[in-house]
Chain A
Amino acid sequence: NAGVTQTPKFRILKIGQSMTLQCAQDMNHNYMYWYRQDPGMGLKLIYYSVGAGITDKGEVPNGYNVSRSTTEDFPLRLELAAPSQTSVYFCASSYLNTEAFFGQGTRLTVV
C-alpha cells in the first residue's frame, strides 16, 4: 500500500525554467492538496482539489498551476521558476473528514 507518492524527491531548477511535481495516491481519496514548507514557517496551502476536474486556490497559489484529471493524480506545475519558490513541497490526500496523509515531499531549489 503506497499511500501518497511524490516524484521527484529532489530537483534543482534554473530561474525561468518550468517543471511539474507529480503526486499520486492509491487510497481512493477525494480530497487532495499541495502545501509548501519553508523553514520556520510551517506548511502553507498552495492548491487543493475536492475531486476530479475540480481545483481551487489556497493561501499561496501565485506562480503555480494544478490539474486533476483523475482521482489518483494531482500534479503541480511551476511556470517560470523563481528563487522564492525554493521550498519543500508536500502533497496530501484525505477522504471527507478523515485525516490527511502526506507524501515524502519534493525538495526544490531554484538557482
Chain B
Amino acid sequence: QQQVKQSPQSLIVQKGGISIINCAYENTAFDYFPWYQQFPGKGPALLIAIRPDVSEKKEGRFTISFNKSAKQFSLHIMDSQPGDSATYFCAASMKGSARQLTFGSGTQLTVLP
C-alpha cells in the first residue's frame, strides 16, 4: 500500500510560534519526500524536499526532520507568520515510477496575527 498519512488535519498557531506537521509512510521504496504549500485557488508549489540519506534539511524558517527507521518525516515552520497560512501537503515518490507523487491528506495552517 503506497499510503502517506498526514496529521494534524488543521493547525492554528500564534504569530512567532512553531508549526509542526507530521507524516508517516509505509513503502520503504520511497526515496524522495517533498512538502508542498498551497494557497487558495492556486496549485501546490514545492516548499522543501529531503532524501532519506539525511536526517534533517533546513531552508530559512522551514525544516524537514526525517526518521528513516520510524518511516516518519515532519515539517517545522519556525517563527510562523500570517503569510504562512496555507494548506501543506507532504508527499513521497520513488525511482522507476516516473516520480509519481503520493500525497498526504493535507494540513490547513492558520497563523494568527
Contact = CB atoms under 8 A, between A and B. Distances in A.
A102 B45 contact: yes
Which secondary structure dominates chain B's binding surface? loop
Given A42-B89, A105-B43, A100 B101 contact: yes
B65 interface: no
10 contacts: A4-B43, A40-B106, A41-B105, A43-B101, A45-B101, A50-B98, A92-B43, A99-B49, A101-B46, A104-B43
B43 A102 contact: yes
Given A48-B98, A58-B100, A99 B44 contact: no
Contacts of B101: 33, 35, 43, 45, 100
Which 7 A-B residue pairs are closest in the complex by CB-CB distance? A102-B43, A42-B103, A99-B46, A42-B105, A43-B103, A50-B98, A102-B44
Which secondary structure dominates chain A's binding surface? strand
Nearest to B108: A40
Contacts, number: 56
A94 interface: yes
Contacts of B99: 31, 94, 96-97, 100
Interface string A18-55: 00000000000001010100001111110010100000
A100 B105 contact: no
A48 B99 CA distance: 10
Interface residues of B, number: 23
Nearest to A96: B99
A90 interface: yes
Contacts of A40: 9, 105-106
